[in-house]
Structure 1
Amino acid sequence: MRNSFSVKTILRKDKWKSDDINRHPLYYQIIFKTGKTKLPSGKYVNINQWDEKKKCVKDSLLKNILIREENRIYNILLGMENNDELFSLENVKNRIKGNVEEKINPDFYFHLDEILKNKFAIEDLAKGTKDHYDHLIKRLKSFRPKLTLNEINPRFIDDFVYYLKVDLDSGNSGTNNVIKCLNTVLKKFVIEKKITENPCIHYKKFPEESSIIFLNPDELKRLIDADLKLGNLTKGLEHTRNLFLFSCYTGLRDSDIKTLKKKHIVENKKIVKRQVKTKDIVEIPFNEYWFEILKKNDFDKKKDDDLVLKYTCNAAINRNLKLIAKISKIKKRLHFHAGRHTFGSLLALQGIPIHLIAKYMGHRDIKSTQIYMNSDEETLSNVMKKVKF
């Protein structure tokens, strides 16, 4: 629904500065359902500094100043509309001039929706991150369908955590993720002065067990050599294995594999792609293992904008991987992301410097890469047996 008001900067050609008739004042023109008004900006420009076609000043610095004030006025009017306030000429002027104390809508979910709408639009978040915030909203509304800003305090956080842990039987990791998203939102609430303190600062994270699953060299070989001929399941199992191995050989996430196009394979020498999750560019050098999988999928016949690998839904992929692990006699709960972990772990075992592993995996922080260093206890144990002190 379109808002019932508008704000824009105009040039008053009918007025001029008292000591310079060539300089005209800039006004903010405000139009609403029951009337309109013009408020002075305090800025003057020559007629040749005004872009008549675009209806704006030519100077970029001044233009930004005017736009910021337009946005401030717009947000004031938006708040008036959301609170069903009277749009009289006097009330509008008083609100903009700050002569009336602004009332804040007490509904917590109203402000939550506004913040997330802006966050999703401005930050271009990955789908997975948006899903986390959607999950937060679902959990909050199931706990407290109606919630006001005044109720956001340490006691509320304690009660909400109890609800997650006891009533919903949420694990430590799941609970921590929900509170992490809530903490991000409440930080913004404090900045915008909707609340005075973020009670999430008192929250102590629950300990989380490491869930890093990867294949060591022996397990990877067993998976490669496994006989997957199981009648009508054969084709799907073999394709799943190829997709998983492609992740093991490249370190790419499922979101990047399912969006990988031929144009991302630069001169058949390396993969250069913007990651779906982080939006950062990752470069993966050529190796014959991942290139061989592409060739199995008719890579040479593809056009630049064609997807190079057919990717089915994650549920089907992970279901197939469990069966493949059983056939390969791998006693691990295999899932697709284990391919990325396998890539990092095997590079570490080969002695690749950690900064290069971080680069190939597209990590922004080298701390994310450190989990792969010295991660294979069996291999380390064999190494230690050969050490002479």
Structure 2
Amino acid sequence: MIRKPLISLFTQFIRDTETGRRLKKNGERIRPDSIQNYKYVLLNLTRFSESTGFDLRIRDTSRLNKRELLVEKNYWKKFYRGFTDYLYKNGCHDNYVGANIKTIRVFFNYLKTEKHIHTGDFHKQFYVRKEEIEIQVLSPDQLKFLIHDKSFEEKLTDRQRKVKDIFVFGCTTGLRFSDLFLLTKHNFEHTDGKWYLKVKSKKTKAFTKVRLPEYAVRIFEQWSASNNKRATVFGQLSLFNFNKTLKEIGEAAGFTDPVDVSREKLGKAVKMASSANTPIRFCDKMSSHMMRRTAITTMLILGMPDHLVRKVSGHTQGGNSFNRYVHHAQAYMDTEIEKLHGKLETI
């Protein structure tokens, strides 16, 4: 009976991915972000085994009899319950737990196709939980404030002013954080008195060309003072510092209304609160993710046709993620129309 330690095999799985021995189905290398997520899963598996004493091993099932197969099936059922319970007890939510399980399923497929270890199909019974997290975006009025309010801008530090400009640029173009900080002068095209941004997404490989408004052009010109065309427009800034500064900007701008935030554990909503057990404010939820979400919803709210918004954002038609933006934009418009109707009723 062949038994192999799961941790060592998972380590090999990561190493083969890093070196390019394991590739995507289309022949491309796995992105570094995905590899980092694999390492987090490995860390969770290691800590789970150490804290619970659960023996993590892989058995070749090709020569097991009926009774032994039943034992193996029960082993993996016990693993799934134990590992997910461990993550939930440590404060994780459905999306994170589901992402861990999804990676483990990928690992089992690797064992079968790359290492030729017959582990059975027990991993296919691992349920991948998902949760729909409410989209937090700037309203058009909030975005307009950050773009045009010069008196507010003068109160910001140089660091805050730069982050504010980058954030506004992202809220206008819909670029991801990773794509924003790869922009060089080569991505900007001036034709017939109009400025365009040309980008190939690092994540999806989708190519987009978007016309820039005057305020976005001013941001580009201000932060691309270097004559080196290969230098990135916005320089370097860690995601942590970007998000931290963004929250400071939101607080200074008065974006402090409390927001209801809930996450799911085992499919049940759990209301979130700050570490000080005080209501979560809008500015507390401001992050790099808000740029792309704000850009897409703003385009929809202001009446841009869905198919053109998808062309800018890179979403495929009928995608669930894009439909979330459509629903959010519709809810916002419904609220504003109700306000208008209320004013008409009182006239």
TM-score range for the pair, normalised by the shorter chain length: 0.7 to 0.9
Corresponding residue of 1:275: 201
In the TM superposition, 1:1-389 aligns within 5 A as 106-120=4-18, 121=20, 122=23, 123-144=28-49, 147-150=56-59, 153-166=76-89, 168-191=90-113, 193-206=116-129, 208-224=131-147, 225=149, 227-230=152-155, 234-267=157-190, 269-299=195-225, 301-330=226-255, 331=257, 332=282, 333-364=285-316, 366-367=318-319, 368-376=321-329, 377-384=331-338
Given that residues 214 and 342 in structure 1 are in contact (C-alpha distance below 8 angstroms), is that contact kept between their aligned partners in structure 2? yes
Given that residues 253 and 337 in structure 1 are in contact (C-alpha distance below 8 angstroms), is that contact kept between their aligned partners in structure 2? yes
Corresponding residue of 1:42: none
Q: 1:345 to 1:275 in 2, by over 3 A?
A: same
Q: 1:280 to 1:114 in 2, by over 3 A?
A: farther
CA distance in 1 between counterparts of 2:218 and 2:121 reads: 53
Q: 1:308 to 1:177 in 2, by over 3 A?
A: same
- Unmatched 5+ residue regions in structure 1? 1-102
Q: Which SS does the other structure have where 1:372 is aligned?
A: helix
Q: Deviations over 1:210-252 (max 9, x none)?
A: 142110111212333261445xx61111111001001011111
Q: 1:200 to 1:315 in 2, by over 3 A?
A: same
CA distance in 1 between counterparts of 2:304 and 2:120 reads: 46
Given that residues 146 and 168 in structure 2 are in contact (C-alpha distance below 8 angstroms), is that contact kept between their aligned partners in structure 1? no
Q: Which SS does the other structure have where 1:315 is aligned?
A: helix
Shift of 1:196: 3.6
Corresponding residue of 2:260: none
Larger Rg: 1
Q: Which SS does the other structure have where 2:178 is aligned?
A: helix
RMSD across aligned positions (CA) = 2.7
Given that residues 302 and 308 in structure 1 are in contact (C-alpha distance below 8 angstroms), is that contact kept between their aligned partners in structure 2? no
TM-score, normalising length: structure 1: 0.65
Structure 2 residue identity aligned to 1:171: H
CA distance in 2 between counterparts of 1:349 and 1:306 reads: 35
Shift of 1:375: 1.1
Shift of 1:169: 2.1
Q: 1:116 to 1:282 in 2, by over 3 A?
A: farther
Q: Deviations over 1:17-56 (max 9, x none)?
A: xxxxxxxxxxxxxxxxxxxxxxxxxxxxxxxxxxxxxxxx
Q: More displaced, 241-250 or 188-197? A: 188-197
Q: 1:286 to 1:218 in 2, by over 3 A?
A: closer
Q: 1:187 to 1:375 in 2, by over 3 A?
A: same
Q: Percent identity?
A: 22
CA distance in 1 between counterparts of 2:339 and 2:247 reads: 33
Q: Deviations over 1:168-199 (max 9, x none)?
A: 22122221111121122223334455244343
CA distance in 2 between counterparts of 1:322 and 1:220 reads: 15
Shift of 1:271: 2.1
Report how many aligned residue pairs link the two structures.
Answer: 282
CA distance in 2 between counterparts of 1:127 and 1:191 reads: 22
Shift of 1:384: 5.0
Q: Which SS does the other structure have where 1:279 is aligned?
A: coil
Structure 1 residue identity aligned to 2:212: F
Structure 1 residue identity aligned to 2:32: K
Q: Which SS does the other structure have where 2:221 is aligned?
A: helix
